């Protein structure tokens, strides 16, 4: 079956090839009604413009890219990314943009995707997640000179605009809440230590623990998976000076921690209080339901997409501070007796 061409669309729609080009590339020059008729014909003929030809013509791809250095299975168990992508899609689809999601095995592979996407004209801009201090993607994207938005703290985003929330404020709120319940031995199961937001949380945890005189406070590093959260919890609960409260850097590790506590016969919340970072439906369905730091992650995605589309349109953009996560107390925390 012959691949449809612009000439085929023009003949079917009863317009010139130039009008078809304007409509397909989102340029002015045709009326809204004509544009809709052309796009409908293109869709019926299953027409797909060649990305290289489109790039040479200076047309927008109407696609933004997102790479994640994680296993594809992450998306099936990590509510954060599902809610983030939902927010991104909400805003992108409203402006007729698509999201190109690519899982990568390392930073070099991520950079290779970025360079290929832009050289082939596949995307108009990219979103950057899980930014590290000194992240090589930041200067590489600055050098490419393409629209890019970091979903993470501005201290690690270089000259790239970022969408972020104050994780330090949220950590202080969680620790002060547990201390007010009488807990003095508070531990934390942290995320990947190299991530910039993890470093911010760690610094805030150490600062507030020192200020409150919580001499037994300690962070055990993990990697956000349930397996690592379970290992870290066993280490904490079977060691000397067992903590009476644990803060987890995501909900998956907190769920695993609750399971380990039950295995060891440690009652939650009577003997151990648990706080999860980033609320999810799972936190509310457990018994006891998990106290969590809650924020609107979908709105976070909407903000990031909106900022990137503004950058793609050539508008000046600046880093945007979203609302911090706030504590939602539930059955997994209680006053220490």
pLDDT per position as a tens digit, 117-171 = 887 778 999 999 999 988 999 999 998 888 999 999 999 999 999 999 999 999 9
- Strand blocks (E) in 50-115: 63-68, 98-103
Q: Could you tell me what percent of the chain has a pLDDT over 70?
A: 94
State residue 93's pLDDT score.
Answer: 92
Pairing state between β 291-294 and 326-328: antiparallel
Helix (H, G, I), strand (E, B) or coil at 109: helix
- Average pLDDT value for residue range 90-118: 89
Helix (H, G, I), strand (E, B) or coil at 192: coil
Report the mean per-residue pLDDT for the chain: 90
Confidence of residue 266 (pLDDT cuts 50, 70, 90): very high
State residue 56's pLDDT score.
Answer: 42
Q: Could you tell me what percent of the chain has a pLDDT over 90?
A: 68
Which DSSP state fits 272?
-
- Average pLDDT value for residue range 105-114: 87
State residue 317's pLDDT score.
Answer: 94
Cα separation of 270 and 252, whole Å? Answer: 22
Helix (H) or strand (E) holding 22: helix 17-24
Confidence of residue 243 (pLDDT cuts 50, 70, 90): very high
Phi, psi of 273 (to 5 degrees): -100, 145
- Average pLDDT value for residue range 68-83: 79
- At residue 99, does pLDDT exceed 50? yes
What residues have CB less than 8 Å from 241, skipping those under 6 apart? Answer: 185, 216
188 HSE (CA, 13 A, CB side): 27
State residue 76's pLDDT score.
Answer: 67
CB 9 within 8 Å of CB 42: yes
- Average pLDDT value for residue range 30-52: 79
Which residue's entry shows tokens 């903590």?
A: 243
State residue 50's pLDDT score.
Answer: 58
Cα separation of 208 and 173, whole Å? Answer: 9
State residue 1's pLDDT score.
Answer: 43
- At residue 58, does pLDDT exceed 60? no
State residue 49's pLDDT score.
Answer: 61
State residue 74's pLDDT score.
Answer: 67
Two tokens at 316? Answer: 């000046």
56 exposure class (CB count in 10 Å sphere: 0-12, 13-18, 19+): exposed
Helix (H, G, I), strand (E, B) or coil at 161: coil
Cα separation of 175 and 179, whole Å? Answer: 6
- Average pLDDT value for residue range 307-312: 95
CB 66 within 8 Å of CB 88: yes
State residue 55's pLDDT score.
Answer: 47
**Count of CB atoms situated within 10 Å of the CB of 257:** 29
Confidence of residue 20 (pLDDT cuts 50, 70, 90): confident
pTM for the structure as a whole: 0.81
């Amino acid at each position: 079956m012959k691949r449809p061409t612009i000439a085929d669309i023009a003949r079917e729609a009863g317009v010139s090839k130039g009008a078809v080009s304007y409509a397909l590339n989102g340029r002015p020059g045709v009326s809204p009604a004509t544009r809709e008729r052309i796009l409908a014909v293109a869709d019926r003929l299953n027409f797909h413009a060649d990305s290289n030809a489109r790039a040479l013509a200076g047309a927008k791809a109407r696609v933004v890219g997102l790479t994640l250095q994680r296993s594809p299975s992450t998306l099936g168990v990590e509510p954060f990314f599902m809610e983030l992508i939902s927010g991104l899609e909400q805003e992108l689809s409203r402006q007729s943009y698509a999201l190109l999601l690519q899982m990568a095995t390392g930073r070099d592979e991520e950079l290779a995707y970025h360079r290929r996407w832009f050289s082939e004209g596949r995307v108009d801009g990219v979103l950057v997640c899980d930014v590290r201090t000194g992240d090589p993607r930041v200067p590489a994207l600055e050098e490419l000179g393409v629209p890019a938005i970091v979903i993470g703290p501005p201290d690690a985003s270089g000259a790239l605009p970022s969408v972020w929330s104050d994780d330090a404020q949220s950590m202080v709120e969680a620790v002060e809440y547990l201390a007010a319940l009488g807990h003095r031995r508070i531990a934390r199961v942290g995320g990947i230590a190299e991530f910039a937001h993890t470093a911010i949380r760690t610094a805030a945890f150490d600062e507030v623990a020192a200020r409150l005189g919580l001499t037994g406070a300690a962070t055990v590093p993990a990697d956000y998976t349930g397996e690592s959260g379970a290992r870290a919890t066993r280490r904490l609960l079977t060691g000397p000076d067992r903590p009476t409260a644990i803060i987890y850097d995501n909900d998956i590790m907190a769920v695993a921690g609750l399971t380990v506590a039950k295995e060891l016969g440690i009652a939650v919340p009577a003997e151990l209080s648990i706080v999860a970072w980033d609320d999810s439906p799972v936190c509310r369905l457990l018994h006891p339901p998990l106290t969590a730091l809650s924020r609107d992650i979908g709105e976070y995605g909407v903000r990031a997409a909106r900022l990137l589309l503004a950058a793609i349109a050539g508008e000046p953009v600046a880093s945007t501070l979203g609302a911090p996560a706030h504590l939602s107390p539930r059955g997994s925390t209680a006053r220490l007796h």
